[in-house]
Amino acid sequence: MQPRDQWTSNLGFVLAAAGSAVGLGNLWKFPYITYANDGGAFVLVYLLCILLVGMPIMMAEIMVGRKTQKSPVGAMKEAVGDAWGLVGGFGVLSGFLLLGFYTNVAGWTILYVVECLDWSTGGFDSAQAGGDAFVGMIQNGGLQVGLSALFMGATVWVVSNGVSGGIERAARILLPVLFGILLVLFFNSLRMDGAGEAWGFIFRPNFSELGRDGVLEALGHSFFTLSLGMGAMVTYGSYMARRDSVVKAAGWVVILDTVIAMLATIIMFSVIFSQPGLRESVGRSTAGMLFITLPELFYTIVPMGKVLAPLFYTLVGFAALTSTVSLLEVVVSYFIDERGVSRKKASLICGGSTFGLSILTGLSFGAVGGLSSFEIFHEEAGLFATLDHFVANWALPLGGFFLTVGVGWFMPKAVTRAELEDSGTPGFVYPVWLFFIRFVSPVAVGAIILAVILGEADFN
């Protein structure tokens, strides 16, 4: 067997894990679900979930990976007990489903790079770039499938080249540049008329506007955005050297991810609240918010926007790539570690079968009637919306729930303590973490899930 690959340093791990966490969840999904859930209260619950549930589970997942140096199924078996391999298996399945719809949105970034190049050279027309144009694009089935094929191809290519070679190198360059452009956008957004209204919308909580399903969505999104609940962080942790600190790494990933999500949201709402027509456009197609709002900002306000716009969508594409890579890596590492398949072969087979699923989800934006209209979850029509809702709101929180129970209650304390404590970790960290992983996180996740199940008969 080949020796197991490793990150080149602690920074390498942080960048790769942050590359997994920072993606379309931050830039595409969080802003639009914040809009759909009326802002303030939703954002507050989301931030609480990140802190009370996300952070402890992030530490637990990295720890299980680093300790066992195995991918999720083997890692859970070894760290917690044979039956817990099922939790890892459930994660592999969630990863497969998630990647099956995520690649579609990732594919839109490729098209937007091309669009922006066109706008930068030929001129930008708001009316033409609005919601209807977006809807027209996603209803074009051939285009959707072609775009996901390109994106899946890129993902397979990186994963087949292995972790430290492909993944880490990509994240090292991309994250800092993406962050820089977001800052430029952020400072420009502050000058817009709608900025005040935007900040109010995001930060002034109004609990009468948040229902049970909104709370579940906030919880689910905290898992989605941090790449938790399906073993991605277990897998990345398994490539971590034992000398690296779990606590520090987890803290950095959580902070980076949250800051980027908040920046993206503030930027987008400042644009939306500054241009009345845009609000309507976005209202008709919330899923397209990232693609409908920002061209406005780039082409009408930001200095050098013509240069920054294509660069920005390129970076969003790469941020999505460092996430799809971590998703595929979970599935691929299962076949490498547990089934003895070679990395190249596993990448091709897993990527190919996930692409099969993305063809179906890509045709569910209106191109094929039957795929686009069926409804299992209330107001989530079509395969894409159904998978997104199922994975983010149900599968990841459930996976995370069993992980907290397994790690908190069934791993010996001496083992978890030894894993978390190193020379740099203050003494209070371990007992606080243990309290959260045993009580706070599972109770919070369990209570929200139960409240939703018991509260509404049609499961949403």
Give kind and range of the element (H or E) at residue 408: none
285 HSE (CA, 13 A, CB side): 21
Position of minimal CB gap to ligand PHE:
25
Does 358 bind ligand PHE (CB under 6 A)? Our answer is no
Residue number, 225 or 354, with CB nearest to ligand PHE: 225
* Binding window for ligand PHE (CB under 6 A); candidates: 15-23, 54-62, 361-369, 397-405: 15-23
Residue number, 192 or 256, with CB nearest to ligand PHE: 256
CA–CA distance, 117 with 216 (Å, rounded to integer): 39
For residues 201-211, b (16+ Cβ closer than 10 Å) or e, as one string? bbeeeeeeebb
Q: Report the amino acid identity of residue 274.
A: S
Residue from 14, 15, 17, 20 touching ligand PHE (CB under 6 A): that is: 20
For residue 426, the minimal CB distance to ligand PHE (Å) is: 28
| Count of beta carbons in the 10 Å neighbourhood of residue 262 | 20
* Binding window for ligand PHE (CB under 6 A); candidates: 152-160, 169-177, 303-311, 323-331: 323-331
Does 327 bind ligand PHE (CB under 6 A)? Our answer is yes
For residue 183, the minimal CB distance to ligand PHE (Å) is: 19
> What is the torsional sign of CA 135, 140, 141, 146?
negative
CA–CA distance, 439 with 433 (Å, rounded to integer): 10
Per-position x/- string for 232-251, each x denoting binding to ligand PHE as judged by CB under 6 A, each - no binding: x-------------------
> What is the torsional sign of CA 328, 329, 330, 336?
positive
CA–CA distance, 249 with 424 (Å, rounded to integer): 12
Does 224 bind ligand PHE (CB under 6 A)? Our answer is yes
* Binding window for ligand PHE (CB under 6 A); candidates: 21-29, 44-52, 129-137, 310-318: 21-29
Long-range contacts of 117-123 (CB under 8 A, 24+ apart): 117/310, 119/295, 119/299, 119/306, 119/309, 120/306, 120/307, 120/309, 120/310
DSSP state of 130: S
Does 26 bind ligand PHE (CB under 6 A)? Our answer is yes
Does 326 bind ligand PHE (CB under 6 A)? Our answer is yes
Residue from 14, 16, 24, 138 touching ligand PHE (CB under 6 A): that is: 24
Per-position x/- string for 49-88, each x denoting binding to ligand PHE as judged by CB under 6 A, each - no binding: ----------------------------------------
Residue number, 98 or 363, with CB nearest to ligand PHE: 98
Label residue 228 left, alpha or beta by phi (over 0 means left) and psi (-120 to 50 means alpha).
beta
Joined together, the tokens standing for residue 12 give 């390498």
For residue 23, the minimal CB distance to ligand PHE (Å) is: 3
Per-position x/- string for 138-177, each x denoting binding to ligand PHE as judged by CB under 6 A, each - no binding: ----------------------------------------
Q: Are 366 and 139 in contact (CB under 8 A)?
A: yes
Residue number, 216 or 302, with CB nearest to ligand PHE: 216
Q: Are 331 and 95 in contact (CB under 8 A)?
A: yes
Does 390 bind ligand PHE (CB under 6 A)? Our answer is no
- Residues lying near ligand PHE in the complex (CB under 6 A) are found at 20-21, 23-26, 98, 224-225, 227, 230, 232, 323, 326-327
